[in-house]
Amino acid sequence: MFWIKKLFLLSFLFFSLLSFSQKSKYWIKFKDKNHNTFSLSNPDQFLSQKSIDRRTKQNIPLNPTAVPLSETYIDSLSPFITELKHRIKWFNVIVVDMSDAITLRTDTTAWRDTIYDTDTFSVTVYDSIIIHRRINPNEASYTYDTVTTSNPIAVFDTFVHPGPIYIRDTIVYTDVIIGNGFDSLKQFGFIDTMGQIKSNPTRAAFGNKKLEEVPPVNQQIVYPSKYGAAYHQINMLNADLLHQMGYTGEGITVSVMDNGFYNTNIIKAYDSVRTRILGTWDFVNNEANVYNDGSHGENVFSCMAANQPNVFVGTAPGAYYYLFTTEDDNAEWVMEEYNWAAAAEVADSVGAQIFSTSLGYSKFDGDEGNHTYADLDGHSTVITNAANMAFSKGILVINSAGNEGAKPWRYIIAPADGDSVMAIGAVDSTEKVVDFSSRGPNAAGRIKPDVCSQGRRSAVVTTNGFASYSDGTSFSCPIMSGCAASLWSAFPDKTAREIYDAIIISADHFWTPDNNHGYGVPNFYNAYLFLKTNYNNGILRVNDDAVVYPNPFSNELNVSLFNTDPKNHRIELFNLFGQKVYDCEFYVRDKTFEMVNIDAAGLSAGEYILRFDGEKAARHLVKVK
């Protein structure tokens, strides 16, 4: 029985300590950013040049949310906190751990026991302190000094003793301050509001750790051998045509937030991208290593970045990446939203252009801090507000919609509810929405998800380096994010809003959106043509005959068309003598535009007849010098 009692005692102590540690996290919001060494007049002191350039290109002015927090305020609070977890300048908030914070109560004393190896040491006194010196903790006799100062003081051991000295500091507070360390912070006038980050320790104990020439493409070409297992998921979005034109995400920086990226530093599929991983940080454990845990994050990352031809090629193998751990595998609690917000600020500061996140939050362990559906109104939760803030700074924020579609919750989860967040639902290989994909709308009635991509049997690279398949909007999200990076690399001067709009407008349910598909499955080649032609509806017409332009023409002649179903087409050009001077056959995929550029520089001035798909009613054209 002894070992059972002992186990029970250890378990009790474990849960008690764990509960105390987790429940000691607080957020503190400051009223302002005064007493600050940073200012908007010198943004290069706190933002990278790439971050400044991203704002400049999109005409986004700097505002006070970009300025770091007041270190003067933070320093003033340091005696009352155990650890500063996060600085979140966008909301003028810090997140702190107060598990060992000194308790301030009227007419009570707080005890601090320490063993010192040296004869001289320093302690910080907050009001008055009685220093008890004893050679042995078990001895009853001791001597003491009393000092009253708020500065660190040096304490000298005047005893002659054979070993380290045991010190018990009896801290006596004379100020009338009621409550615990959290309550004592209310004395500071620069604090606006504070709150506890709620948690439940049970799961933590048992959980797991310009109209320009369009580069020619051949829409009939397929690359199953090149893309390996990942071919269908990029082909569904026609983003392989972007790759065919040479746009694979070059120059675009993507920040990926997840639960870790286990073995990404050694898996062969990442050999070519490894030098373009610009930085890593674990915001849960406060360390740089993100490769020691997190199979989910590694699987997610592969959908974008893996580049092992004939095995697996992701949707943005040419992009740059930051990898951030924000998800705590040992607990589901609101602190993870603060982790994400802190990572988002760092990503903004270093110049990221796209956030890709396959995480979301609604319910937490022990129902501590749960979000209600009403909270998912697009601008209420911590993580959703941070995501919206990122978009306002010129960052395209892409997030999985969630896997709640077949569960009682059913709806999207934060931050997918965000007004400025592109929430990604899941379809199967036939483009049918799958049952688990979270549905909309958000609580304000906004259409959600925004768009969909393959989330059933999505191809991934596993942590052992092999291609496999998995289900979830966790994978439809990075597939979409990589396609967005490839599209943006074709138009580096476009804004996040312009890239977002092109993707939405290209989707196959754009005119008939609903809360299952959102706006549907995007067509990234169509999105490319929209941006290339500046949405010229005289050129790009849906469900219409081929458009031939300009007429009269000089050195170039263009033909554009839209296919409802995939098929081959033929363009023939004749002079008035009946001689064929141009003949071209090409294939157009379903629901896809195509633009064919005819080099007419070698043709003589005069009249010509163009015949499209052997039509009897040919088009009369005139070439001028």
Pair 502, 569 in one domain: no
State pLDDT tens for residues 337-361: 999 999 999 999 999 999 999 999 9
Identify which of 161, 458, 155, 479 has the alpha carbon closest to the alpha carbon of residue 317. Answer: 479
Give the structural domain span for 119.
Answer: 109-172
Q: What percent of the chain has pLDDT over 90?
A: 64
Looking at 504, 533, 562, which one is the last position of a domain?
Answer: 533
* Alpha carbons 368 and 332: distance in angstroms, whole number: 9
Pair 146, 245 in one domain: no
In a domain? residue 155: yes
Identify which of 194, 124, 134 has the alpha carbon closest to the alpha carbon of residue 159. Answer: 134
* Better-predicted residue by pLDDT, 561 or 524: 524
pLDDT of residue 310: 93
In a domain? residue 57: no
In a domain? residue 376: yes
Q: What percent of the chain has pLDDT over 70?
A: 78
In a domain? residue 198: no
pLDDT of residue 183: 60
Looking at 533, 558, 589, which one is the last position of a domain?
Answer: 533
In a domain? residue 90: no
In a domain? residue 254: yes
Pair 498, 551 in one domain: no
Residue 100 binned pLDDT confidence (cut-offs 50, 70, 90)? low
- How is 337-400 classified by DSSP, letter by letter? HHHHHHHHHHHHHHT--EEEE---BS--GGGTTPPPGGG-SSS-SHHHHHHHHHHHTT-EEEEE
Between 131-135, 265-269, 433-437, 599-603, the lowest mean confidence (pLDDT) is in 131-135
Pair 526, 578 in one domain: no
Between 161-175, 297-311, 427-441, the lowest mean confidence (pLDDT) is in 161-175
Determine the average pLDDT of the residues in 313-342: 96
Pair 435, 467 in one domain: yes
What's the number of CA atoms in the CB half-sphere (13 Å) around residue 164?
A: 8
Determine the average pLDDT of the residues in 448-456: 98
Pair 482, 563 in one domain: no
Looking at 172, 192, 207, which one is the last position of a domain?
Answer: 172
Pair 490, 554 in one domain: no
State the CATH number of the domain containing residue 256: 3.40.50.200
pLDDT of residue 179 exceeding 60:
no
Determine the average pLDDT of the residues in 204-220: 53
What's the maximum distance between 2 C-alpha atoms anywhere in the chain? Answer: 121
Q: Are 400 and 357 in contact (CB under 8 A)?
A: yes
pLDDT of residue 462: 96
* Better-predicted residue by pLDDT, 10 or 474: 474
State pLDDT tens for residues 218-242: 777 666 678 999 999 999 999 999 9
pLDDT of residue 382 exceeding 50:
yes
pLDDT of residue 181: 54
In terms of DSSP H, where are the helices of 151-268?
Answer: 181-184, 202-206, 224-227, 231-235, 240-244
Pair 562, 527 in one domain: no
In a domain? residue 190: no
Residue 195 binned pLDDT confidence (cut-offs 50, 70, 90)? confident
pLDDT of residue 104 exceeding 80:
no
Number of domains in the chain: 3
Pair 371, 516 in one domain: yes
Pair 382, 484 in one domain: yes
State the CATH number of the domain containing residue 590: 2.60.40.2550
In a domain? residue 100: no
pLDDT of residue 202 exceeding 60:
no
Neighbours of 285 (CB within 10 A): 14
pLDDT of residue 23: 53
In terms of DSSP H, where are the helices of 62-170?
Answer: 71-77
State pLDDT tens for residues 134-149: 333 344 433 334 444 4
pLDDT of residue 17: 33
Pair 450, 309 in one domain: yes
Which H or E run includes 30? strand 25-30
pLDDT of residue 147: 40
Residue 545 binned pLDDT confidence (cut-offs 50, 70, 90)? confident
Pair 236, 367 in one domain: yes
pLDDT of residue 486: 98
pLDDT of residue 222: 63
